[in-house]
Amino acid sequence: MANPLNIIAQVPADEEAERSVIGSILMDKNALSKISDNLNSDDFYNRMNQEVYAVMLKLEDKGCPIDVITVSNELKKKKIDSVSHLTDCVSGVATATHIKEHAKIVKEKRVLRELLATSNDIMEQANSGEIDSDDLVDMVEQRIFSISKQTGKKKYKSLSELTEGVITKFKMIASGEIEPGLMIGLDTLNEILSGLHKSDLIIVGARPSQGKSALALTIANNVAHKDTPVAMFSLEMSEEQLVERLYSMNSGVGLQQIRNGAFKNKEELDKATKSIDAVTPKMDSLPIIIDDTPSISVLEIKRACRRIKAEHKDLGLVIVDYLQLVRPRKDDGKTNDQVAEIARGLKNLAKELDVPVVALSQLSRNIEQRENSTPRLSDLRDSGAIEQDADVVIFISHGSDMGDGNPPVDLIVAKHRNGPLGVARVKWNRETVSFS
């Protein structure tokens, strides 16, 4: 396709910087280790430089020396004559001191080339008329997000490349150096799930007013207290209501008292005020990002998460309250298809951002008409696709009041793709509308 704006006169590349990187590695045996984690052979524009750098990485992995002879011999196996090119690269470098700066230039040119390719794709897609505007915007943001987190390493890996990382992680978990997943502050549930895991979609299902939002906010609060950023999309409650609940959880002051200011006497008011003032500094520092946009779409959630991820590089958890209120792409009245699309979109979000996504879901009325009211997977409202796409499904089931106004609650793990099922018994704190 012709470029109607005639903006780019040539492909972004810096031959001098590329030759300097190659020459520096041939000159200094320690030079490659300074850049190999961030520079890939595909980052070079010149085809010969791509081949040379790939061989250098291969020799480094084998622990072999890297010089004109070893590199040229490897390339001869591919029927590539590289001696004169390698000699020119070495002769053009006075010192290997600036290899990091030159490697950065090579990487930046690669990013510019990818941006240029993306812009061309955008023009072609926009002019084709074969993609709607929402999908086009999502494609653009996804491509830009992918470019922005470019590490220079290939996305695919062989089994031999993966085993070391898995074994290392296993040993660190076994020794207690790291936790197996994102611990959520509810020990019995943590034991069953081993915490929440990256790229998992976790569905929390219950009938209305059974504590779905309270459980989600309890998890968000506990996770944030470990300095892990949480993005919470609240389609039902306002940001002010969520903050009131967080204050109640953290201060111990009853939620209704915070809302209506009804205290028995001044002493009780002063005590509550002191408790709230005491937790305010910590509340101000909790990394919880709240978006209470009503009827938000999955695409809008994705866009917001990408921006949050860019600002908080260690974004640890995304919560959506709740799934049936998320706006579908097309309001064609086919509820099952719409919910399936939303569930799949949230699962894709979890994989793309490599974070656990907790989505709340209503259960159907059928549960109220059965003699046994224990929730089942078939009770997930509107679509079997929720069960299909979810990695974990948790149901909330309330028990009878034990007399203190805080009855036990069973969190039933009804689906666990990578682990056991089970029931975690927790305590419902009625006044602070939270679980413990």
Q: What is the CATH number of the domain that holds 116?
A: 1.10.860.10
Preceding amide of 322 cis, omega within 30: yes
Q: What is the mean pLDDT of residues 183-203?
A: 85
> Does 2 map to a domain?
no
Active-site entry in 60, 108, 141, 236:
236
Instruction: Give how far Cα 247 sits from Cα of 256, 336, 359, Å.
Output: 11, 37, 23
Report the pLDDT value the prediction gives residue 149, as an integer from 0 to 100.
Answer: 59
Instruction: Give Dmax over CA atoms of the chain in angstroms.
Output: 91
Q: Quick one: 287 and 367 in the same domain?
A: yes
Q: Facing residues of 233 across strands?
A: 291, 320
Q: Quick one: 244 and 308 in the same domain?
A: yes
Report the pLDDT value the prediction gives residue 19, as an integer from 0 to 100.
Answer: 92
Q: Quick one: 133 and 259 in the same domain?
A: no
> Does 234 map to a domain?
yes
Q: Is 152:40 a contact under the CB 8 Å cutoff? A: yes
Which of 119-133, 184-198, 327-341, 397-411 has the highest average model confidence (pLDDT)? 184-198
Q: Quick one: 199 and 136 in the same domain?
A: no
Would you give the distance in Å from CA 65 to the centre of its chain?
A: 39
The CATH number of the domain where 272 resides is what? 3.40.50.300
Q: Is 404:176 a contact under the CB 8 Å cutoff? A: no
Catalytic residue list contains 236 = yes
Domain total in the chain: 2
pLDDT at 377 over 50: yes
Range of the domain at 207: 177-435
Report the pLDDT value the prediction gives residue 47, as an integer from 0 to 100.
Answer: 92
> Does 65 map to a domain?
yes
Q: Quick one: 141 and 208 in the same domain?
A: no
Q: What is the CA radius of gyration of the chain?
A: 28
Q: Quick one: 182 and 325 in the same domain?
A: yes
**Distance between CA atoms of residues 153 and 144, nearest Å:** 17
Q: Quick one: 203 and 112 in the same domain?
A: no
Q: What is the mean pLDDT of residues 136-143?
A: 74
At 20, list the tokens.
């300097």
Question: Taking Cα atoms as reference points, which of 212, 222, 215 lies closest to residue 250?
Answer: 222
At 328, list the tokens.
């579908």
DSSP string, 192-258: HHTSB-TT-EEEEEE-TTSSHHHHHHHHHHHHHTTT--EEEEESSS-HHHHHHHHHHHHH---HHHH
pLDDT digits (tens, 9 = 90+) for 43-59: 899 999 999 999 988 88
pLDDT digits (tens, 9 = 90+) for 352-376: 888 899 988 877 777 767 766 777 7
Would you give the distance in Å from CA 159 to the centre of its chain?
A: 24
Report the pLDDT value the prediction gives residue 5, as an integer from 0 to 100.
Answer: 40
pLDDT digits (tens, 9 = 90+) for 146-189: 776 554 445 556 777 778 777 877 787 787 777 777 888 888 88
**Distance between CA atoms of residues 349 and 354, nearest Å:** 8
Q: Quick one: 315 and 402 in the same domain?
A: yes
Q: Work out the pLDDT band at 1, boundaries 50, 70, 90.
A: very low
pLDDT at 260 over 60: yes
Q: What is the mean pLDDT of residues 65-84?
A: 89
> Does 164 map to a domain?
no
Between 207 and 287, name the one with better pLDDT. Answer: 287
**Distance between CA atoms of residues 308 and 230, nearest Å:** 9
pLDDT digits (tens, 9 = 90+) for 219-244: 888 888 888 888 889 888 888 888 88
Look at the alpha carbons of 342, 343, 349, 352 in this order and tell me if their dihedral is positive or negative: negative
- Give the start-end residues of each E strand in 123-165: none
pLDDT digits (tens, 9 = 90+) for 289-324: 888 888 788 878 887 887 777 776 678 889 998 787
At 278, list the tokens.
């005491």
Domain stop point among 106, 129, 148: 148
| Count of positions (residues) in the chain | 436
Within 10 Å of residue 128's Cβ, how many Cβ atoms?
9
Q: Quick one: 207 and 343 in the same domain?
A: yes
**Distance between CA atoms of residues 328 and 300, nearest Å:** 11
> Does 316 map to a domain?
yes
Between 87 and 177, name the one with better pLDDT. Answer: 87
Q: Which residues contact 90 (CB under 8 A, 6 or more apart)?
A: 23, 26, 27, 68
Domain stop point among 109, 132, 148: 148
Q: Give the count of alpha carbons within 13 A of 376, CB side only.
A: 9
Instruction: Give how far Cα 113 sits from Cα of 99, 241, 288, 291, 347, Å.
Output: 21, 47, 36, 35, 30
> Does 19 map to a domain?
yes
Between 251 and 45, name the one with better pLDDT. Answer: 45
**Distance between CA atoms of residues 237 and 151, nearest Å:** 39
